[in-house]
Chain A
Amino acid sequence: MIALFMLMIGCGTAGDSSFHEGLSAIRSGDATVALAGFQQSLAEGGRDGAVYHGLGNALYRLGHHGEAAAAWRRGLALSPRNGDIAANLDFVRKRFKDKLEPPSTHRSAFFWQSFLSPLEGAILAATAIAFGLWMAVWGRLRVLRGLNGLGANAVLLAVASVVIGCVLALAALDTVAQRAGGVVTVAEVEVRSALGPSGLSLFVLHEGAEVRIEDQSQTHILLSLSDGRKGWVNGSALRTTNPAHPFVFTER
């Protein structure tokens, strides 16, 4: 049954045809058509690392480097072991004016966050917890049939499996929370001490600056930098790096 669930996660496709249209277009050098194809693939539910990789490439070819960085950040969040996306992100970071330290990919306690995507972590967590629970079911059935329950080793294995699963689930959720970041997509934006124009200008960020999103209102975002600086910016100046969010790009 666990295998069946995993199969359900792994077999379905979404936005595949639009993705391949985008791929063909970018190979032929038409970045505009490719951009539309990749965006359509995302709209159809194809929130895949490869789609964000292609989207970032198309945006880069069109000269939108900040948007491209955001797309690659999203792709890397979904496929953390994809070296090509990491190389592209590293490549474009060198072109940005603000030399900020890239955000950390993992906490030291959850070292596997750097090479497991949240989905992969959650699948492992669900597998471990389900295994422990199915063992408990088996033990309960034995008791109801008047037989002895699970042995000490089996109980230990079941408990350990559930505990490990809970830790993995916690790490997966933490990864999502930790990657609540954003990339500046406009040429220059003032970071202010308060919402709106009443705040004082604290500092200026330029296209490609990678920030962490601390809080947000309907129109503004409270961001923090790796060096500890904080401030509010207009939400339209940032693109979030959460791959589950819509990626709607319109040429300005």
Chain B
Amino acid sequence: MILALLPIALAAELSLHIDTKTLVVGQSVPVKVAVINGGSFGVPVLPVGKGLLAQFQGQSSQHVIVNFESTRITEYNFQLAATAEGRWSLGPVDLVVDGKRLHAPAVTIDVGAPPIDQGGEPVVATISDETPVLGQVVVYRFQFQYDKPLVNARWTRPEFPGFIPEVNAEPVQREYQLMQDGVATTIQTIEVPLVAAGTGVQTIQPAQLTAQFRAKNRRRRRSVDDLFGNSPFGLRGSTETRTLSTQPVSVSIGALPILGQPARYSGLVGQFKAKLRASTTQVKLGDSVTLEYILVGDGTLAGFKLPPPAETAGFRVYDDAPEIRTQLLDGRFRSQLTVRRAVVPEREGILVVPPIVVSTYDTEAEQYVVVSTGAVELTVVPGEEGGGVVSSYGQIQGDSREAVAAIDQDILPVIAPGGVRDRTLKGATVILSSAVALPGMVWGLLTMFGWLRSRRPAPLAVLKARLADLPSAPDQRLASLESIFRGTVAELLGVAVHGLNGQQVEGLSSEAASLYADFERARYGGGAVADLEARVNGFVRGAR
């Protein structure tokens, strides 16, 4: 605590400290009034509520030096005892320090019921109401009391037939100490909020607790553990384990009465109060005002929905998601629901937002009751230009949508496309097949053409074959020989026949050049032609 006070220890200050703000009747805790960096005379007065008792125990002072700065703390110690259930205030404290009046604000203390008398039993299980009705919240309470040093305790949660967990609340575990018959006793409690969900007699089986207590040391040789006193080293071999069990708890869950059940029963069971408040009482047309609806009670609020206003109410509403808070203390379950509702007025003038009425079942009165808020009156003033004006698109031509009742409540209309056509695969099979088949066919034809071309006989072989079938007339025979020779040369040179000239032929061989020259001369009636056929025959047959 001293370290916590250091950051604020720059000027004289007064503060009130208590370790816990939740007590039970009979419990007492220390309270400190601390004066930091200041001096005062006399003991401060600590005012307490009717259910609390404060007794001055003494005072102490100390100096702390941090970062070369000295801080002086004077503490006035009180012992606070809780004497009655309820919510009580502790403080405020006013004290004159160094001629200046300082103030420590009050603290609210919740005092719960004293622990259940266990009648000598170390563990006991109870339920807050043994005859609840369907939907009512009850609190299952497991209590463990011991006055020996405890090392470890593990609780086994029983099944809760006929109940479901309250979804917005968690089980609460608490531990505190009481003086009973002059003995310091520790109380551990575990409270589980449950919602009655099945009618008839239901039995909650015993809850079990496995506890390890520290056993008294017997005379034995001193070990190294003893040097460490109460350190964990000293625990080995000196604990006693006990399994403790409660009695079963029997609960009779009744049904809600059918007779007198309102038509618009909200499903809430318990005692509730509601209030409605507006963020402002004047609003411009087109703007919204936020109403805050708060529902407080001791029943579950899971699944509760705020009733909508009538359609002719003259305003529209938009609800936020409800905010639910719960509190579980000493067997008492409290829940609070807050809903912020935006109200948008639809006309100018005085707008009365009617009370919000919720029908509930009161478990104390055992009848259905109506929980109602007050009405809220709003003044709706003219809005800014254009504000709050709702445009209608109903008269616009060309709206391609058919009218629908409301989104989420009706089917969606057809948006007219540019044109309808057969969009099935079956309808496009011919066109798509053609799109693939055409290049396939072209490719196939080209492949076949190439293959056929590759099957043509070799040109040299054709020329050689022509040598065996020369015409008999001399002129024709000579012309045919020249054609065969030129064709052979062109094939060997890889050029066209018609473009062949002497220069190209000279590059092939001297024999070819000689034959070429002899054919040129023979064409004009000169040169030796007698052995020309034999020479061509030899040249062509030798061509590769």
Chain A residues within CB distance 8 Å of chain B: 1-2, 5, 8-10, 12-16, 19-20, 23, 26-27, 41, 45-51, 53-54, 56-57, 60, 78-79, 84-85, 87-88, 91-92, 117-119, 122-123, 125-127, 129-130, 133-134, 136-137, 140-141, 143-144, 172, 176, 243-244
Stretch at the interface among B143-151, B282-290, B361-369, B420-428: B420-428
- A5–B419 CB distance below 8 A: no
Asked if B442 is at the interface (CB within 8 A of a chain A CB), the reply is yes
Chain A positions within 8 Å of B421 at CB level: 10, 12-14, 16, 45-46, 48
Asked if B411 and A91 make an inter-chain contact with CB atoms under 8 angstroms apart, the answer reads yes
* A107 shortest CB reach to chain B, Å: 17
Contact B439 A137 (CB under 8 A): yes
Q: Which of B48-56, B64-72, B445-453 forms contacts with chain A?
A: B445-453
B115-123, B254-262, B429-437 - the one binding chain A: B429-437
Task: Give complex CA distance A15, B421 in Å.
Answer: 7
Task: Tell me which residues from 399 to 413 in chain B have a Cβ below 8 Å from any Cβ of chain A.
Answer: 402-403, 410-413
Pair B420/A244 contact, Cβ less than 8 Å: no
CB distance from A94 to the nearest CB of B (A): 11
Minimum CB–CB distance from B448 to chain A (whole Å) comes to 10
The answer to whether the Cβ of B440 comes within 8 Å of any Cβ in the partner chain is yes
Which residues on B sit within 8 Å (CB–CB) of A88? Answer: 411-412
> Known contacts A27-B402, A130-B439: does B420 contact A15 (CB below 8 Å)?
yes
Pair B420/A130 contact, Cβ less than 8 Å: no
- 10 additional A-B residue pairs with CB within 8 Å, beyond A50-B420, A130-B438: A2-B435, A9-B432, A10-B421, A119-B423, A119-B425, A122-B428, A129-B436, A130-B435, A133-B439, A136-B439
- 10 cross-chain CB contacts under 8 A: A2-B435, A5-B434, A14-B422, A16-B421, A27-B413, A57-B413, A84-B413, A117-B423, A137-B442, A144-B449
Q: Using Cβ atoms and an 8 Å threshold, which residues of chain B touch A176? A: 425
Complex CA distance for A19 and B410, rounded to whole angstroms: 22
CB atoms of B438 and A1 under 8 A apart: yes
Please, which residues of chain B bring their CB within 8 A of the CB of A45?
421-422, 427
Q: Is B417 an interface residue (CB 8 A)?
A: yes
Residue contact B432 to A123, C-beta cutoff 8 Å: yes
Bound Cα distance from A137 to B428, whole angstroms: 25
Do A14 and B420 form a contact, CB below 8 Å, given A57-B411, A118-B425, A144-B446? yes
**Complex interface residues of chain B between 102 and 127 (CB less than 8 A to chain A):** none
The answer to whether B422 touches A47, judged by C-beta atoms less than 8 angstroms apart, is yes
Whether A144 contacts B424 in the complex (CB less than 8 A), given A8-B431, A84-B415, comes out as no
Question: What does DSSP make chain A's interface, helix, strand, loop or mixed?
Answer: helix
Please state if B411 and A19 are interface contacts (CB–CB under 8 Å). no
Asked if B304 is at the interface of the complex by the 8 Å CB criterion, the answer is no
Question: Which A residues are in CB contact (< 8 Å) with B428?
Answer: 9, 119, 122-123
Residues of B within 8 A of A57 (CB): 402, 411, 413-414
Contact of B423 with A47 in the complex, beta carbons under 8 Å: yes
Could you tell me if A134 and B417 are in contact, using CB atoms closer than 8 angstroms? Answer: no
A122 to B402, CA, bound (A): 33
B interface residues, how many (CB within 8 angstroms): 36
Distance in Å: Cβ of A6 to nearest Cβ of chain B: 8
Asked if A49 and B412 make an inter-chain contact with CB atoms under 8 angstroms apart, the answer reads: no
| B443: interface (CB < 8 Å) | yes
What separation, in Å, do the CA atoms of A46 and B420 have in the docked complex? Answer: 6
Contact with A along B212-238 (1 / 0, CB 8 A): 000000000000000000000000000
CA distance A10 to B421 in the complex (A): 8
Cα-based distance from A236 to B402 in the complex (angstroms): 32
Residues of B within 8 A of A91 (CB): 410-411
A176-B402 Cα distance, complex, nearest whole Å: 31
Q: Which of A53, A122, A143 is the one whose CB lies under 8 Å from B432?
A: A122
Q: Enumerate the 10 nearest inter-chain pairs by beta-carbon distance, A residue then B residue, closest first.
A: A133-B439, A48-B420, A84-B412, A13-B419, A5-B435, A140-B446, A46-B420, A244-B424, A27-B402, A126-B432
Asked whether A50 lies within 8 Å of B426 as measured between CB atoms, the reply is no
Say yes or no for B1: interface residue by CB 8 A criterion: no
Enumerate chain B interface residues (CB-CB to A < 8 A).
402-403, 410-417, 419-428, 431-436, 438-440, 442-443, 446-447, 449-450, 453
User: Residue on B with the closest CB to A41?
Assistant: B420
Shortest distance between the CB of A43 and any CB in chain B (Å): 12
Distance between B237 CB and nearest chain A CB, rounded to angstroms: 59
The answer to whether A137 and B432 have CB atoms under 8 Å apart is no
- The smallest C-beta distance from B425 to any residue of chain A, in angstroms, reads 4
Contacting residues, chain B, for A133 (C-beta < 8 A): 436, 439-440, 443
* In the bound complex, CA of A9 to CA of B411 (Å): 31
Q: Which residues of A contact B413 (CB under 8 A)?
A: 26-27, 57, 84
CB distance from B200 to the nearest CB of A (A): 30
Complex: how many Å from CA A172 to CA B432? Answer: 12
Partner of B425, one of A12, A48, A50, A122: A122
Beta-carbon contact of B411 and A126 below 8 Å: no
Q: How far is the CB of B397 from chain A (nearest CB, A)?
A: 13
Q: How far is the CA of A92 from the CA of B435 in the complex (A)?
A: 40
Interchain CB contact under 8 A, A144 and B450: yes
* Separation of A8 and B310 alpha carbons in the complex (Å): 57
B435 neighbours in A (Cβ, 8 Å): 1-2, 5, 126-127, 130
Q: How far is the CB of A102 from chain B (nearest CB, A)?
A: 17
State A1–B474 Cα separation when bound (angstroms): 59
Knowing A123-B432, A140-B443, A140-B447 touch, does A78 contact B414 (C-beta < 8 A)? no
Given the complex of chains A and B, what is the CA–CA distance between A12 and B428 in angstroms?
11
Q: How far is the CB of B418 from chain A (nearest CB, A)?
A: 9
Quick one: given A47-B422, A48-B421, A123-B428, are A20 and B416 in contact (CB under 8 Å)?
A: yes
Q: Is the CB of B422 within 8 A of A48?
A: yes
Shortest CB distance A3–B (Å): 10
Chain A: CB-nearest residue to B409:
A91
List, in ascending order, chain B residues with CB within 8 A of A127's CB: 435
User: Is the CB–CB distance between B414 and A50 below 8 Å?
Assistant: yes
Q: Report the separation of the CA atoms of residues A55 and B427 in the bound assembly, to the nearest whole angstrom.
A: 20
Residues of chain B within 8 A (CB-CB) of A144 are 446, 449-450, 453
Question: Would A13 and B438 be within 8 Å (CB), given that A26-B402, A60-B411 are in contact?
Answer: no
CB neighbours of A243 from chain B (8 A): 423-424
CA distance A96 to B410 in the complex (A): 15
Question: Among the interface residues A13, A79, A137, A172, which one has the most CB atoms of the partner chain B within 10 A?
Answer: A137
B419, B424, B433, B446: which contacts A47 (Cβ < 8 A)?
B424
The distance from the CB of A88 to the nearest CB of chain B, in whole angstroms, is: 5
A46 to B436, CA, bound (A): 25
